[in-house]
Structure 1
Amino acid sequence: MTHSIEDDWVARFADEVIASAQDRAPGKPIVCASGLSPSGPIHLGNLREVMTPHLVADEIRRRGYDVMHLLSWDDYDRFRKVPAGVPGVDESWAEHIGRPLTSVPPPPGSAYGSWAEHFKAAMAESLERLGVRYRGISQTEMYRSGAYTEQILLAMRERQHIDGVLGKYRTKIAPEENDEDGESVAGYYPYRPYCGVCDRDTTTVTAYDDATTELTYTCSYGHGATIRLSEHRDGKLVWKVDWPMRWAYEGVHFEPSGVDHQSPGSSFVVGSQLVAEVFGARAPIGPMYAFVGIAGQAKMSSSRGGVPTPADALRIMEAPLLRWLYSRRRPNQSFKIAFDDEIQRLYDEWDTLGRKVAEATAPPTDAAAYFRAIGTATGPLPVTPRPLPYRMLASVADITVGDPAQMLRILADVDPGDPILDLDEARPRLDCAAYWVATYVPDDQRTHVRTAPDTDLLAELDDEQRAMLALLAERLEDNWSLGGLTTLVYGVPKIRLGLPMDTKPTQELKVAQRAFFSLLYRLLVGRESGPRLPTLLLSLGAPRVRTLVGA
């Protein structure tokens, strides 16, 4: 079965990948691939590297095909620089620059044996929560086991051809990239050994014999050796040769990559030529994906530190919502993930979409993105049993300073006909909202309820203002639910203007309502604005509201 909805990018790529796989090798498993380098905290921009093939692989799996999502942990990459913002890590880690990530010690206090394992573990936990099913491959294990030995020897035999391909592009890319593609004053060699003495890749190959596979190298730290490459296990192909080699070795049909890999002379362009001409395979379907940003923050970089990770996002939003952010946008569309007030609007949009899907009124592509967010081919993701509005839960957590007993008291009154009897009914969404308030809402934006009536302001009120406050206080109990209080706060100005409760908003009515809301905020929290008034009133309780409004 195929899908032809033009905007459903997941279905469209699934169609292309299935067709390509059947053309290449009918009956064999379809392979979608990702690659992550655990060089530091793996951030939300890196997550797109995994979510894009995950969503395509999951769609293929839903259609009944045998599909595998490979996740290559590029843990045999060199440690390039000491990332900023990692607790306990200082410039003393610079001595490990040039060593494999699996040979670098982990941050202080880590339960893991290496730098790579430490950062892999955090990402793996987040991927599990997100429902991402994959087969992980450690490139350290692959290289050190000798799995790639034949491919390495082939690349060395074909080094002149590879050098010719790379040479077409070297003037188009940055000099530091030229240094990393294997070019040196001693000639071109696509393999770089890690030094047998200092374990760094600051090595230069000075000679190689194809017949014996003897390779001689020197190290910038004064070391050197001659090894037999057919038996050597401590080194790797340079990136622009390594990547197409893996495409051929794993039979990859689909692997996206970032903008930086798809410009002229970059990895994907060069790799697409090398995989065919050297390794005898086809390049995968490889769409470019755009950057993911954070609201109010510049482009993410693991080395700069302070970048939000999937684990950070999952502390303030449920897994289906985070999946949705990646499923609803085509890979080449950039988007931002909100850690500020925008998250409340985002949750409103998510809940509205859920209602439209339930009513079968959502556009097909929106519904498809929603269903891909809430579950996978293997089943649904966990959900909050009673998904109350996020902005309301945030307000409740804010006003109560996260006190569980007070939160339960308030949430039980949201719908008296079907009260929440246990906070677990509102979790994990409640915990996400509470964490967001405690961590990302600046103190000057937090709600501080007045401890005593504002006697000066109350003394300045005119007769109409006093009448509105008295009417509110008088009708509180009869309207003590979220819906009832919503009707009441909007209704008090209508009643005072002599209008029916079902009156549509007019300009005059809107002005009266805004003035009334502003007065209530000033009396209750000492500001012109704050949490939604029905939630605020519910949180305070009727007796305290009466006291503060002077009724």
Structure 2
Amino acid sequence: MQPWISRVAEELKARGDHPLVFSTAKTPSGPIHIGFGRELVYCDVLSKMLEAEGWRAVWVFFVDDFDSLKAFPPGIPSDFASQSEYLGRPMYMVPCPYGCCENWSRHFAGEMLKTLPSFGFNPKVYWTHEVYGWNEMKALVRKALIEREKIRNILLEVVTPTLDGKRLEAFKREMEDWYPCLVVCENCGRLMTTKVLGYDPESDLVSYQCQACNHKGEVKLAAWPVKLRWRIDWPAKWALFKVSCEPAGKDHCVKGGAYDTGERILAEVFEGKPPVRIPYEWILLGARAMKTHKGIAFTFTEWLKTAPPEIYRYIILREDPKKHIAFSPERIPQLIDEFERLEAIHFKAEKPSNPVEEALAENVYPLCFPERPPAERPARLPYRFAIILSQLEPLLGKEKVKAKALQVLEKLGGRRPSAQEISEALVRLSLAEYWVANYAEESFKIEITEKVSSEVKASLTEGERAALKELIQMLESKEWGEEELQYQIFELGKKLGIGTKIFQAVYKVFLGRNFGPRLAPFLLSLEKEFVIQRLKEAAREG
């Protein structure tokens, strides 16, 4: 167990909440990225751990579809994105841009929600606009309106010290006639552009003006969509659901941020106990922070097309929440290698190289699986081998590729693989195929030439030809393992005085270029007779 997880678990147990309620939320302003998933992993791990100790845990997830659509992310069809009247409306009131779902939020949230079980996430999902229709939530909106001055003073006390200059002046001006909620305009349907002018508790009427269409009106709070502003919406949900813990991104947890104001408003207005906060850093896509509304995203759906879900949980759990995670899809093979080394260490098949690796194998590895961790070390088709095999279908045919994969699986596992292991190996072939097509660098891509060209033959030196001849003898002498063969090819190059040029020579013979995937698994993935005949053809003089 990571030390911070144990610390948070003890803090939650000390609260004495029955049940312990975990909360997460996401605004579906576009394709939802994996950066948001840190809080999903944390809530899943903590809730399951506490349930195993006899505590009752509930996990709620809010799709914040009552939030306004502020911009169209890249990739939205141009004819839809030209309809600016949708901007400013609550997302549940914006049509689906592709015409396939009930509305905007159902489309983008739905894409993510259907992937959650694959990662082991099973929260109770609430659509925020529906929650705002509940009598209990309406009562909290009324309370916020009645306690407007108290909330306003809290915001001034908490936020003002963190601002200066023009930002401070603008904030003070905004707070002069500030109200804690927004109203959906009866005329244009926008939410973001409305300004509340007053509230009469006796009649339950909220008066407002829309700054987009200039419509003025009054609506009955009980019967019309009225939404709390973000800094008040959050503590209202904490109060309504009696939330015990909610992780949040670092931007919300800074001094004067939404978490600070939320805790004060919850305690002083809604009379609740602030939840345990888990601040977390962002996951970067390359060097950029992922942003749903800007289209900077690697989605959960995309992850499941390229890698197993346990690898995603691994990259989250291996790091402290306060450390950022730099992710790029190009590194997926490396991440899978890392995870499978931890697996080998966990099952005592390999020794850890340092205490950190040992701790990860012991404490983090079991938490990475969507369901229960395996009781014994699984037989796995190495992802890098799958990368090569998945590209050999034009040469070998689909059935031979599958047969080769299962042969490798049985050889590495040292036993007949189970039905589940076979199924996972075949899935891995398709994951690797997708990764190659969409994210692989050129060195991973394979297109075997029909024959050794005359140009390649002419380019081979005497030393390289001699190396190819000895390599033929090596391959004919025995059945090789991947690591042993890789090492012996390297040693052969050293012995003949050509060093790594032996690798370049073999790549040219098969691929027509002097680079390629890791050589030993590449050669072992091909039919042995084909490899030997191709090397003989290249080594032949004249």
Report deviation, 1:300.
Answer: 1.0
Q: Distance in 2 between matches of 1:38 and 1:180?
A: 27
The equivalent position to 2:254 in structure 1, one of 247, 250, 263, is: 263
Q: Aligned to 1:286, what secondary structure does the other structure show?
A: strand
Report deviation, 1:29.
Answer: 0.4
Q: Distance in 1 between matches of 2:173 and 2:373?
A: 47
Q: Aligned to 2:24, what secondary structure does the other structure show?
A: strand
Change (3 A) 1:109 1:538: farther
- Residue 214 of structure 2 is matched in structure 1 by 222
Report deviation, 1:271.
Answer: 0.9
Report deviation, 1:56.
Answer: 1.7
Q: Distance in 2 between matches of 1:278 and 1:518?
A: 71
- Residue 503 of structure 2 is matched in structure 1 by 517
1:438 maps to a residue whose letter is: A
Indicate conservation of the 8 Å contact 2:152/2:178, yes or no: yes
Report deviation, 1:324.
Answer: 1.2
Bigger mean CA deviation after superposition, 119-128 or 361-370: 361-370
Indicate conservation of the 8 Å contact 2:245/2:275, yes or no: yes
Report deviation, 1:208.
Answer: 2.2
Report deviation, 1:355.
Answer: 0.7
Change (3 A) 1:521 1:278: same
Report deviation, 1:476.
Answer: 2.6
Q: Aligned to 1:351, what secondary structure does the other structure show?
A: helix
Deviation by residue 1:321-348 (Cα, 9 ceiling, x = unmatched): 11111122121111122311x2212111
- Residue 329 of structure 1 is matched in structure 2 by 319
- Residue 116 of structure 1 is matched in structure 2 by 105
Q: Aligned to 2:276, what secondary structure does the other structure show?
A: coil
Q: Distance in 2 between matches of 1:48 and 1:449?
A: 41
- Residue 411 of structure 1 is matched in structure 2 by 405
- Residue 315 of structure 1 is matched in structure 2 by 305
Change (3 A) 1:464 1:226: closer
Change (3 A) 1:459 1:85: closer
Q: Distance in 1 between matches of 2:139 and 2:437?
A: 55
Give the alignment's Cα RMSD to 1 decimal: 3.2
Q: Distance in 1 between matches of 2:76 and 2:167?
A: 26
Report deviation, 1:92.
Answer: 2.5
Report deviation, 1:384.
Answer: 11
Q: Distance in 2 between matches of 1:520 and 1:38?
A: 50
Bigger mean CA deviation after superposition, 280-289 or 192-201: 192-201
1:13 maps to a residue whose letter is: V
- Residue 117 of structure 2 is matched in structure 1 by 128
The equivalent position to 1:205 in structure 2, one of 196, 200, 204, is: 196
Report deviation, 1:77.
Answer: 0.9
Report deviation, 1:486.
Answer: 4.9
- Residue 503 of structure 1 is matched in structure 2 by none
Report deviation, 1:215.
Answer: 2.3
Indicate conservation of the 8 Å contact 1:77/1:101, yes or no: yes
Report deviation, 1:383.
Answer: 12
- Residue 500 of structure 1 is matched in structure 2 by none
2:405 maps to a residue whose letter is: L
Matches within 5 A, 1:373-452: 373-376=368-371, 379=372, 386-400=379-393, 404-414=398-408, 424=423, 426-442=425-441, 446-452=445-451
Q: Distance in 2 between matches of 1:356 and 1:382?
A: 14
Report deviation, 1:262.
Answer: 1.7
Report deviation, 1:170.
Answer: 4.1
Change (3 A) 1:521 1:345: same
Report deviation, 1:474.
Answer: 3.4
Indicate conservation of the 8 Å contact 1:182/1:238, yes or no: no
Q: Aligned to 1:56, what secondary structure does the other structure show?
A: helix
| Count of paired positions | 521
Q: Aligned to 1:215, what secondary structure does the other structure show?
A: strand
Report deviation, 1:509.
Answer: 5.3
Deviation by residue 1:159-193 (Cα, 9 ceiling, x = unmatched): 111111112324735989998999466x2221211
Report deviation, 1:105.
Answer: 0.3
Report deviation, 1:14.
Answer: 1.2
Change (3 A) 1:357 1:209: same
Q: How does the TM-score come out when normalised to structure 1?
A: 0.86
Q: Distance in 1 between matches of 2:115 and 2:466?
A: 54
Q: Distance in 2 between matches of 1:382 and 1:222?
A: 66
- Residue 355 of structure 2 is matched in structure 1 by none
Q: Distance in 1 between matches of 2:28 and 2:167?
A: 21
- Residue 544 of structure 1 is matched in structure 2 by 530
Indicate conservation of the 8 Å contact 1:33/1:252, yes or no: yes
Bigger mean CA deviation after superposition, 400-409 or 204-213: 400-409
Deviation by residue 1:293-317 (Cα, 9 ceiling, x = unmatched): 12x3511111222521111111111
Structure 2 unaligned blocks of 5 or more: 353-357
- Residue 34 of structure 1 is matched in structure 2 by 24
The equivalent position to 1:102 in structure 2, one of 92, 111, 116, is: 92
- Residue 75 of structure 1 is matched in structure 2 by 65
Q: Distance in 2 between matches of 1:33 and 1:181?
A: 32
Report deviation, 1:543.
Answer: 3.5
Q: How does the TM-score come out when normalised to structure 2?
A: 0.87
Q: Aligned to 2:58, what secondary structure does the other structure show?
A: strand
1:15 maps to a residue whose letter is: E
Report deviation, 1:356.
Answer: 0.7
Deviation by residue 1:367-410 (Cα, 9 ceiling, x = unmatched): 2211111244xx45999974111111112223446952342253
